[in-house]
Amino acid sequence: MKIAVSTTEQNLRIKEAELPTIEHAGAIVKILGCGLCGSDLVKIKNKTGAQNIVHGHEIVGEIVEIKINNKSIPFKKGDIIVAGHHVPCYKCHYCNNKNYSMCSKFKQTNFIPGGFSEYIFLSEDHLEHTAIKVPDNLSEIDASFCEPVACCVRAVKRAEIKQEYKVIIIGLGSIGLLMGQVAKHYGAYVIGCDLIDERIQAAQNLGFDENIKFETQEITSGYIISKCHHGIGTDQVFLTSGSKSSLDLAVKSVRSGGKIIIFSSISSPDAYIHNNEIYYRELSIIGCYSASPEDLKDSIYMLEKGIIKTDNLTTVYDFDDINLAVEDTIKNKIIKAYIKISQKNNDTSKEQYK
């Protein structure tokens, strides 16, 4: 089978690898396609982590072989599924406090070898806790948004949005556009902010209440403040941009007593929020970077019911063109890349795939 592995350069290399096998219990899943996540881009661009790693986790796939011990698991050969790549233990102190993404098992579990691969092994734990059958009315590309939407759902839950809160989404890439829709579903008045006209238009098309183009820190934050609660600032800021300057805009725009939800990594080592801003203004800073299995269920429901729309967000690339997808995304030529890897098969006997 073909896989795409990380290299010492800012790209991926497609190579041949052995098909995964089921040693104890689990499933072999043929990957139909996989979304290119911002976290994948950070690892590729900054060359972080080990080499020869297979990235990718926003998968849609077809079960081609399954062997399970837990008979309550409802899947069968031929099912089209999505799945979260990490599984919490549900027993540790982190899990008991719903900090699932801090669980050591959560961090250790993953797809084998990774989403940018023609086939993966999915453990029985994944099948039990994070795999979901794709509803009939969802397209393959819509279904690929299950995991990123789930991450946004968790961030919005952690923010504890109240009805009629005014929130700003700084950074209207794919995550920002999803985050704004989720926040709006939970009752917020949503303002989008970005530098790129096409992304501002996308937010408008997706139903954001208001959208502004970033000019300068003073002009943009002044406008945001003027629009929120008679000039005191926005209740919450969702930071979905990896720019260091977005931290300053967040602090300037949020009201005293408000919340900043950080949903992005910033590569600059001196990116921080000044202690006195947090202390004297009683700001709450919340980090959020992944989703729990419960959030995946909420996500697929919201996609199935059309609450979250993904129209015109995705550009599809063939597997062999994965480096072009990386390059186009980094250069902001597109909003979201989906890597098309395989076609569905009518005959799902594994022998056919060898």
Q: Which pLDDT score is estimated for 350?
A: 42
Q: Which pLDDT score is estimated for 296?
A: 97
Q: Which pLDDT score is estimated for 49?
A: 58
Q: Which pLDDT score is estimated for 50?
A: 64
Q: Which pLDDT score is estimated for 160?
A: 96
Q: Which pLDDT score is estimated for 242?
A: 81
Q: Which pLDDT score is estimated for 48?
A: 60
Q: Which pLDDT score is estimated for 354?
A: 42
Q: Which pLDDT score is estimated for 258?
A: 97
Domain boundaries, the chain: 2-145+310-353, 151-287
The CATH number for 2-145+310-353, chosen from 3.90.180.10, 3.30.465.10, 3.30.420.240, 3.40.980.10, is: 3.90.180.10
At the topology level of CATH, where does 151-287 sit? Answer: Rossmann fold (3.40.50)
Q: Which pLDDT score is estimated for 52?
A: 81
Three-state SS string across the chain, please? CEEEEECCCCCEEEEECCCCCCCCCEEEEEEEEEECCHHHHHHHHHCCCCCCCCCCCEEEEEEEEEECCCCCCCCCCCCEEEECCCCCCCCCHHHHCCCHHHCHHHHHCCCECCCCECEEEEEHHHHHHCEEECCCCCCHHHHCCHHHHHHHHHHHHHHCCCCCCEEEEECCCHHHHHHHHHHHHCCCEEEEEECCHHHHHHHHHCCCCEEEECCCHHHHHHHHHHCCCCCCCEEEEEECCCCCHHHHHHHHHEEEEEEEEECCCCCCCCCCCCHHHHHHHCCEEEECCCCCHHHHHHHHHHHHCCCCCCCCCEEEEEHHHHHHHHHHHHCCCCCEEEEECCCCCCCCCHHHHC
- pLDDT tens digit sequence for 207-222: 999 999 999 999 999 9
Low-confidence ranges of the chain (pLDDT < 50): 347-354
